C-alpha cells in the first residue's frame, strides 16, 4: 500500500492481469493478428482533429487494450486529468498547479488557481505579444539607430529554447522569410558566436527567454550578447530597443537591466517543457505572425478537449500512453523512437526528449518511495528517410524491441516547386514501406523464393513484429503542430499518472548545476575544492595543464 492510500502499482490486480495476459499471448505475431482479423487495419484506428492514428501494427489484442484501460481506471488517470484541468496543485513536490492547458483556453473560459481566473491574464499577454510581433514584422519597432529589425535571436535553454526552435523549424514555410531567426542555448561561446557573427547589431533583437531568469547558460549568453551589442552601438540606451525578456521573474529581469515594460510574463503553473505556447513562443509569433500562432493554439485546444472528454476507448492520448506502458513494463522495451517523415520536423524528437524524459525520467514515486517498475523510456529518432540509411538496420534486425511512432503528411508544403512536390510520393512510399516491413518482415521461405543462396537466407530474413503507430495528417499546418504537441503532452501525462510519479518537477537536473558551480573556480583559479573526488581532481589538473595554467 502507498502512503497516499493507493495500492502499489505492481500489486494491483490490474497489473497482475496484464502480466498474466502477457504470458498467455506469448510470442504473438502481427502476421497472425492480421490474418485472424481482416478488418484490423481499419478497426484499430482513431481520429482526433486532423490526425488519423493507426495502431493496428501493435502487439495487442482487444483483451490487451481492455486490460490496459482497466489499469488506467485503477490508477485513476482520468481523476488526475480532471484535477489538472481544474487547476489543482498536482505538481506536489513543487506545490504548483499544472495548467499549460490554460494557455490555449478560449477568452471566455474560467480556470481558477487559488480562486483567481487565470484566463484573462493569458489573453492579455497574448495580445501584448501580438502587438509587439506586428510592430517588429511591419518595421514599426526599430533598433536604437532607427534601422529596421531584421534578425531575431532567442536566447534560452531547455524548454525556453527547444519549443520555439522546434516550432520555428516545423512552420518555416509560414514564416516571414525577410527576417532571420537564430536560437542560442549552449553556454559554449561558439553557439552565440556562430549565431551573431554575420549579423548587424543595429538590426538585431535579442529575446531572452527564461522562466526563472537565473539559468546560468541563459544569463551568461544574454550578458555576452549585451556586450556584443553595446560594443557596436556604444550606448546603454540601446538595450531597451534590442532586448526583451520572457519570464515569470520580473525582479531578476529588472536586475539584468531589461525594462520590465519589455517583459512578457508567464506563470509558475507553466512548466518549462510545456511553455512554448506561452510568452516563450514570442520568437515563433514574430516569425509566423499572431494569426498563425492563434491557429496553433486552436490546434492544441482540439486535443485538450478530446483528452478531457473522449471516452477511454476513443481517447488517443490515453491509448498512446497505454501502448507505451505495455511495451515499457510488460515487454521490456527500453526506448521509444519517434520518426517523422517531414524534414520540417527535424527538431521534433529533440523537443519530445525533454517533454518525455524530463517529465517521466524518475525513480521516486509521488508517495516518496522508490518505484518497483520501469518509468520513462529513452526517446530518440530523426526524420526519415535519413534514418533508414543509418540506424534502421538495428530496428529491423537488431536484438532490441523498439516501438516507434511514424508521423507523415499527405501533402507536401505548398511553397515547394512542382518538381520538389513530386518527390513527396517517394518520401511517403518509404514511410508506408517501413512500417509494413517492420510489422510483417520477410520469412525464410519468401527469401528462398527469391532464389537467395541458402547460406544467406538467415541474413536476409526479417522476423518483423516490430510495433509502430502511424500518425497521418493531410498537411503540416500550425494547427496540426499544436495537435501533435498536445497529443504527446497528454500521452506523457497518462504514463506519469500510471507510474505514480510527479511528471512536472525536474529535481534530477539540480545536482549537476551545483557541482558545476563548485568546480568552476578550480578551473579558472586553481582553487582547492574540498572533497573533490580523485578522478575529477586529476581531470581538472590535466585540463589546467592543457590550457597552460
The single residue among 124, 394, 420, 509 that binds ligand F6P, judged by CB under 6 A, is: 509
429 or 509, CB closer to ligand F6P?
A: 509
Pairing of strands 378-380, 335-340: parallel
Fill in the DSSP letter of residue 328. Answer: I
Site string for ligand F6P, 353-372 (x = CB under 6 A): -----x--------------
Q: Which of 101, 155, 132, 131 has its CA nearest to residue 267?
A: 101
163 belongs to the binding site for ligand F6P (CB under 6 A): no
211 belongs to the binding site for ligand F6P (CB under 6 A): yes
Strand partners, 335: 378
315 belongs to the binding site for ligand F6P (CB under 6 A): no
212 belongs to the binding site for ligand F6P (CB under 6 A): yes
Instruction: From 8-16, 153-161, 195-203, 258-266, give the range in contact with ligand F6P by CB under 6 A.
Output: 153-161
Would you state the cell numbers that stand for residue 111, as one nine-digit string? 480556470
CA atoms within 13 A on the CB side of 507: 10
Residue 358: active-site member: yes
Instruction: From 157-165, 281-289, 398-406, 442-450, give the range in contact with ligand F6P by CB under 6 A.
Output: 157-165
Pairing of strands 468-473, 51-54: antiparallel
- C-alpha to C-alpha distance for 264 and 125, rounded to whole angstroms: 7
Length of the chain: 549
210 belongs to the binding site for ligand F6P (CB under 6 A): yes
Cβ neighbours around 488 below 10 Å, total: 21
Strand partners, 478: none
210 or 503, CB closer to ligand F6P?
A: 210
Cβ neighbours around 26 below 10 Å, total: 7
515 belongs to the binding site for ligand F6P (CB under 6 A): no
Output the furthest CA–CA distance in the chain (Å, rounded). 78
Compute the least distance from the CB of residue 44 to ligand F6P, in Å.
36
Compute the least distance from the CB of residue 158 to ligand F6P, in Å.
3
Q: Which of 395, 407, 429 has its CA nearest to residue 349?
A: 407
Residue in this structure with the C-alpha cell 523464393, named with its chain if needed: 449
> 489-508: which residues touch ligand F6P (CB under 6 A)?
506
Residue in this structure with the C-alpha cell 483483451, named with its chain if needed: 63
For 425, the enclosing helix (H) or strand (E) is helix 424-440
Instruction: From 134-142, 207-215, 393-401, 527-535, give the range in contact with ligand F6P by CB under 6 A.
Output: 207-215
> 219-278: which residues touch ligand F6P (CB under 6 A)?
272-273
Compute the least distance from the CB of residue 358 to ligand F6P, in Å.
6
103 or 407, CB closer to ligand F6P?
A: 103
Compute the least distance from the CB of residue 223 to ligand F6P, in Å.
14
Compute the least distance from the CB of residue 254 to ligand F6P, in Å.
16
Residue 389: active-site member: yes
Q: Which of 250, 279, 242 has its CA nearest to residue 264?
A: 279
159 or 365, CB closer to ligand F6P?
A: 159
The single residue among 72, 157, 285, 473 that binds ligand F6P, judged by CB under 6 A, is: 157
Fill in the DSSP letter of residue 416. Answer: S
Contact 271, 504 (CB under 8 A): yes
Chain residues in the site for ligand F6P (CB under 6 A): 157-160, 210-212, 215, 218, 272-273, 358, 506, 509
Catalytic residues: 358, 389, 513
Amino acid at each position: 500500500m502507498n502512503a497516499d492510500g493507493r495500492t502499489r502499482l505492481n500489486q494491483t490486480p490490474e497489473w497482475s492481469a496484464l502480466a498474466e495476459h502477457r504470458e498467455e499471448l506469448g510470442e504473438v505475431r502481427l502476421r497472425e493478428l492480421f490474418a485472424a482479423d481482416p478488418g484490423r487495419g481499419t478497426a484499430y484506428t482513431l481520429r482526433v482533429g486532423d490526425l488519423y492514428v493507426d495502431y493496428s501494427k501493435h502487439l495487442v489484442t482487444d483483451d490487451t487494450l481492455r486490460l490496459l484501460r482497466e489499469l488506467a481506471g485503477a490508477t485513476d488517470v482520468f481523476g488526475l486529468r480532471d484535477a489538472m484541468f481544474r487547476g489543482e496543485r498536482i505538481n506536489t513536490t513543487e506545490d504548483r498547479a499544472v495548467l499549460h492547458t490554460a494557455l490555449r483556453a478560449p477568452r471566455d473560459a474560467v480556470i481558477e488557481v487559488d480562486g483567481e481566473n487565470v484566463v484573462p491574464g493569458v489573453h492579455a499577454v497574448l495580445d501584448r505579444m501580438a502587438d509587439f510581433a506586428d510592430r517588429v514584422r511591419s518595421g514599426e519597432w526599430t533598433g536604437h539607430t532607427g534601422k529596421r529589425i531584421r534578425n531575431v535571436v532567442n536566447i534560452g535553454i531547455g524548454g525556453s529554447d527547444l519549443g520555439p526552435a522546434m516550432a520555428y523549424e516545423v512552420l518555416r514555410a509560414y514564416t516571414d522569410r525577410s527576417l532571420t531567426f537564430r536560437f542560442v542555448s549552449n553556454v559554449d561561446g561558439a553557439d552565440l558566436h556562430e549565431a551573431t557573427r554575420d549579423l548587424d547589431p543595429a538590426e538585431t533583437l535579442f529575446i531572452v527567454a527564461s522562466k526563472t531568469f537565473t539559468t546560468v547558460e541563459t544569463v551568461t549568453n544574454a550578458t555576452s550578447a549585451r556586450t556584443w551589442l553595446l560594443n557596436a552601438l556604444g550606448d546603454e540606451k540601446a538595450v531597451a530597443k534590442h532586448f526583451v525578456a520572457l519570464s515569470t521573474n520580473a525582479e531578476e529581469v529588472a536586475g539584468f537591466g531589461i525594462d520590465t515594460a519589455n517583459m512578457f510574463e508567464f506563470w509558475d503553473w507553466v512548466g518549462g517543457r510545456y511553455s512554448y505556447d506561452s510568452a516563450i513562443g514570442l520568437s515563433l509569433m514574430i516569425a509566423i505572425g499572431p494569426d498563425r500562432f492563434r491557429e496553433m493554439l486552436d490546434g492544441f485546444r482540439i486535443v485538450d478537449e478530446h483528452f478531457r472528454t473522449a471516452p477511454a476507448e476513443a481517447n488517443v492520448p490515453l491509448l498512446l500512453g497505454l501502448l507505451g506502458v505495455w511495451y515499457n513494463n510488460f515487454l521490456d522495451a527500453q526506448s521509444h523512437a519517434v520518426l517523422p517523415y517531414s524534414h520540417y520536423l527535424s527538431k521534433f524528437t529533440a523537443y519530445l526528449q525533454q517533454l518525455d524524459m524530463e517529465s517521466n525520467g524518475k525513480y521516486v514515486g509521488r508517495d516518496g518511495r522508490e518505484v518497483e517498475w520501469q518509468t520513462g523510456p529513452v526517446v530518440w529518432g530523426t526524420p526519415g528517410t535519413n534514418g533508414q540509411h543509418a540506424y534502421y538496420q538495428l530496428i529491423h534486425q537488431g536484438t532490441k524491441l523498439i516501438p516507434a511512432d511514424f508521423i507523415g503528411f499527405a501533402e507536401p508544403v505548398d511553397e515547394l516547386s512542382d518538381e520538389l512536390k513530386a518527390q513527396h510520393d517517394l518520401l511517403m512510399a518509404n514511410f508506408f514501406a517501413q512500417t509494413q516491413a517492420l510489422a510483417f518482415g520477410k520469412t525464410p521461405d519468401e527469401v528462398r523464393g527469391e532464389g537467395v543462396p541458402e547460406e544467406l537466407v538467415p541474413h536476409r530474413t526479417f522476423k518483423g513484429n516490430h510495433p509502430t503507430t502511424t500518425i497521418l495528417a493531410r498537411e503540416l499546418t500550425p494547427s496540426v503542430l499544436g495537435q501533435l504537441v498536445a497529443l504527446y503532452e497528454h500521452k506523457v501525462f497518462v504514463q506519469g499518472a500510471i507510474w505514480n510519479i510527479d511528471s512536472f518537477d525536474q529535481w534530477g537536473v539540480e545536482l549537476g548545476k551545483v557541482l558545476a558551480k563548485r568546480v568552476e573556480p578550480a578551473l579558472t583559479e586553481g582553487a582547492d575544492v574540498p572533497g573533490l573526488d580523485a578522478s575529477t581532481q586529476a581531470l581538472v589538473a590535466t585540463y589546467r595543464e592543457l590550457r597552460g595554467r
